[in-house]
Amino acid sequence: MRRRVASSPEKVSGLVPMADILANTVGIILFILAFTVLHTGGVLIPKRLPMEREDADRKPVYFVCYEKRLLPLDGNLRDKLFKGLGTPTYETAESWVARFNRARVEDGFFTVEAGGEARFNRGAYQSIAELVLFASYKPKADVGDTQEGLRGESSLFNARIKGLSKDGRFLYFIVYPNSIELFREARDYAESQYGIASGWSPATEGEPITFDLSGNGGGTAIVPKPQP
Amino acid sequence: MNAGNLSRPRPNQEHFDLLPFIAIMMIVLAVLLFITMTMASLNVGAGAAEGWIPTKTQGTNNKIPILVEWDGETAIIQKPSGHRRAVLGKEVLRWLSSEGRFRNGEMREFWNEMKSQRNTHYVLFAVRPSGFRNFQVLASAFRDAGVNVGYEPIEQSKRIQLKMDKGRLR
């Protein structure tokens, strides 16, 4: 460390000029801050404002934005819940639903659980059993693409959307509250890189994604077999 | 040690000059202050609000959006004439009467207004994370009345406004 020898007390510099410089610097920074805040007041983003529209020609490809990860959702996974259950009849509807409710399948990203009930309407002239069925997709933790990784050549997102026809498919994002930024990033990338349109729907924190399966497999209404 | 020597000043006594250290400290303080203020500036100014400017793309709708902020409990309707607040509450079942009309007066008035302007206007919801749970119920009330809706997520505390050219704001 450098040492100096003070020849006389008069040569020791005072702190007043330094404090003066500091005070001036702080004052200028405050002025710049005030000017910036007042002048900007918000970011303007040119964007195409969304509006829902029917598009029966294009089929959705589902993705879920969960815990800041992007998970591809396999819509066909729910069909596996019906495997080995056979066809329900009016007489077997109750036991069929009980077996259906125990069904559970999974892939690398989701665990899918079945749920449902048989509602009987016994009328004087005709009785029917209505099956109300649904599949709950529970996302797994720490799987899927991160926001930084989804643009990468080897990302799951890239691999899934690369070959999609923009006229035949669109991306449908199911977004959990803590993954809004990730959703925007993925949507912008798909649009700018591949020209694929997209839609989205909000999901509730802590709850699985539920698909209504009524009309699928079990059918909506079953009537008893005609009596001989 | 001789106590007399300590009290007597010596003309050639060696000492550290603190001035360079103070200068460095001041520079460090100034840099920290600058970083703090830059962050504050971004958050209070540029990052605090978002303005959406609609772009025109071929094949997209030509209807005029009316922005509604939704946080799960309160809808802030941004009309060109001024903002209106409609407090619906969190209980979805209490929103509508048995006739399917909104119980809240502000929302009922807006709903009727949009219904009569459904060929020229649509409702653009800015949905905050706290509103994700019950948003679709609110949107369906407009869908069922034949009013088009659009929706976009927005951070919980970020202010939002539409920047439309004045010709379209009627």
User: Which among A73, A48, A70 is positioned nearest to A183, based on CA atoms?
Assistant: A70
Please judge whether B159 and A30 are an interchain contact, meaning their C-beta atoms are less than 8 angstroms apart.
no
Over range A104-108, report the average pLDDT. Answer: 93
Q: Per mean pLDDT, which range of A70-79, A168-177, A199-208, B39-48 is the poorest?
A: B39-48
Please judge whether B127 and A13 are an interchain contact, meaning their C-beta atoms are less than 8 angstroms apart.
no
B58 and B142 belong to one structural domain: yes
Pure H helices in chain B = 3-7, 19-41, 105-116, 135-143
Answer whether residue B80 is part of any domain: yes
B67 and B37 belong to one structural domain: no
Give the pair of three-digit tokens for residue A78. 């729910």
pLDDT value at B10 more than 80 = no
pLDDT tens-digit profile of B108-120?
999 999 999 999 9
Number of domains making up chain B? 2
pLDDT value at B145 more than 70 = yes
β-strands B49-54, B159-162 pairing: parallel
Cβ-Cβ contacts under 8 Å, B59 against chain A: none
User: A36 and chain B: CB distance < 8 Å anywhere?
Assistant: yes
User: A76 and chain B: CB distance < 8 Å anywhere?
Assistant: no
B62 and B143 belong to one structural domain: yes
Give the pair of three-digit tokens for residue A84. 């080995």
Distances (CA, A) of B159 to A88, A204, B63, B87: 53, 22, 23, 18
For testing the chain A interface, which of B134, B151, B165 should be mutated: the one with the most A CBs within 10 Å? B151
Evaluate whether A189 touches A78 at the Cβ level (below 8 Å).
Answer: no
B55 and B41 belong to one structural domain: no
Answer whether residue B5 is part of any domain: no
What is the CATH number for B64?
Answer: 3.30.420
B28 and B112 belong to one structural domain: no
Answer whether residue B41 is part of any domain: yes
Evaluate whether B54 touches B164 at the Cβ level (below 8 Å).
Answer: yes
B123 and B92 belong to one structural domain: yes
pLDDT given for residue A217 in this prediction: 47
pLDDT tens-digit profile of B36-53?
877 776 666 556 677 777
Answer whether residue B9 is part of any domain: no
For testing the chain B interface, which of A37, A174, A181 should be mutated: the one with the most B CBs within 10 Å? A37
Answer whether residue B167 is part of any domain: no
Average pLDDT, chain B: 81
B59 and B118 belong to one structural domain: yes
Contacting A residues, span 47-66, partner chain B, CB-CB under 8 Å: 47-53
DSSP-derived letter for residue A180 is: H
- A175 beta partners: A65, A202
pLDDT given for residue B170 in this prediction: 46
Answer whether residue B2 is part of any domain: no
Question: What is the domain extent for residue B29?
Answer: 14-46
B116 and B36 belong to one structural domain: no
User: How far is A89 from B136, CA to CA, in rounded Å?
Assistant: 34
pLDDT given for residue A136 in this prediction: 94
Distance from CA of B157 to the nearest CA of A (A): 13
pLDDT value at A84 more than 80 = yes
B59 and B30 belong to one structural domain: no
Q: Which helix (H) or strand (E) is A175 found in, with range?
A: strand A169-175
B81 and B60 belong to one structural domain: yes
The SS3 assignment for B163 reads coil
CA angle in degrees (0–180, nearest 5) for A47-B115-B149: 30
β-strands A4-5, B14-15 pairing: antiparallel
For testing the chain B interface, which of A180, A184, A212 should be mutated: the one with the most B CBs within 10 Å? A180
Answer whether residue B109 is part of any domain: yes
The shortest CB-CB distance from B46 to any of A43, A52, A178 is to A43
pLDDT tens-digit profile of B61-70?
678 889 999 9
B35 and B60 belong to one structural domain: no
Cβ-Cβ contacts under 8 Å, B40 against chain A: 33
Residue B166 contacts by C-beta under 8 Å, 6 or more apart in sequence?
none
Evaluate whether B41 touches B98 at the Cβ level (below 8 Å).
Answer: no
Tokens 């992007």 belong to residue: A70
Distances (CA, A) of A134 to A68, A116, A160, B62: 26, 6, 26, 37
Answer whether residue B170 is part of any domain: no
User: How far is A141 from A66, CA to CA, in rounded Å?
Assistant: 8
Distance from CA of B43 to the nearest CA of A (A): 9
Predicted TM-score (pTM) above 0.80: no
Over range A20-40, report the average pLDDT. Answer: 74
Report the residue of chain A nearest B129, measured CA to CA: A177
User: Which among B66, B56, B167 is positioned nearest to B123, based on CA atoms?
Assistant: B66
User: How far is A157 from B10, CA to CA, in rounded Å?
Assistant: 78
- B82 beta partners: B79
B79 and B138 belong to one structural domain: yes
